[in-house]
Structure 1
Amino acid sequence: MKIVLWVIAALLAAAFLFSGLFKLALSREKYIAAQDWAAGSPRWAPDVIGALEVLGAIGVVLPAVVNIAPVLVPLAAAGLALVMIGAVAMHLRRGEYSALAPSGVLLILAAIVTWGRFGPYSF
């Protein structure tokens, strides 16, 4: 199970690193063209969410790899789960049901890592 948690954490890190850097790299206008939810959000929202995703991606893997404060891994996974709860709620509110699958899968994976690293498979 520890290997499964490592694989899930690596997948989470890759997905959130890509998503976060995408939000941070594009200008607001280009990001709105790609993701229309940002048009109705505060100006700062994509940047803050992108920064949280990048930090979560780093936090879900790096502390365990370098064996410095590995308790941060489940905390980062819990933070990513909270971000995805917000994403699921937003997609439901906007009626974007096709976007629920990726958000839901990432939410479930983050919850699994949180459970596993806080619980029976902690470092």
Structure 2
Amino acid sequence: LALVLGVCAFSAVSAEHTTEKQGAACSDNTPECYAKAHHNPVRQCKQVMDNKATFRHVWQESEAQPIFGTYLWHDEKKKTIQAFGQQAKAINSMNMLIPLQYFCVFNANTGEVIAASFE
């Protein structure tokens, strides 16, 4: 019984420290930090853009260059965020790659994608 209680207490303390670390990491309440600590629907945003695109394109993402590089509050009270990126290229008729910009508006509390499109 003591071992079980000790493990439970350790788990509770670990959970508290994890929450504190997340809170400390996001103490400035930046939209990027908030999105990454809650719901950052990168894959869903890409799917919406892929489905809406009327042209051939490729994604050029890596760990060093994530899909979204800029996060701004769309509505801070509703926790909606607008993310922007430039890690996609259109393929023209001569198979040349042309840089694209795009955005995604989403609810960081639920992960719901509100709008996403190439610009």
* TM class by smaller structure: under 0.3
TM (normalized to structure 2)? 0.26
Q: Flag the structure with higher strand content.
A: 2
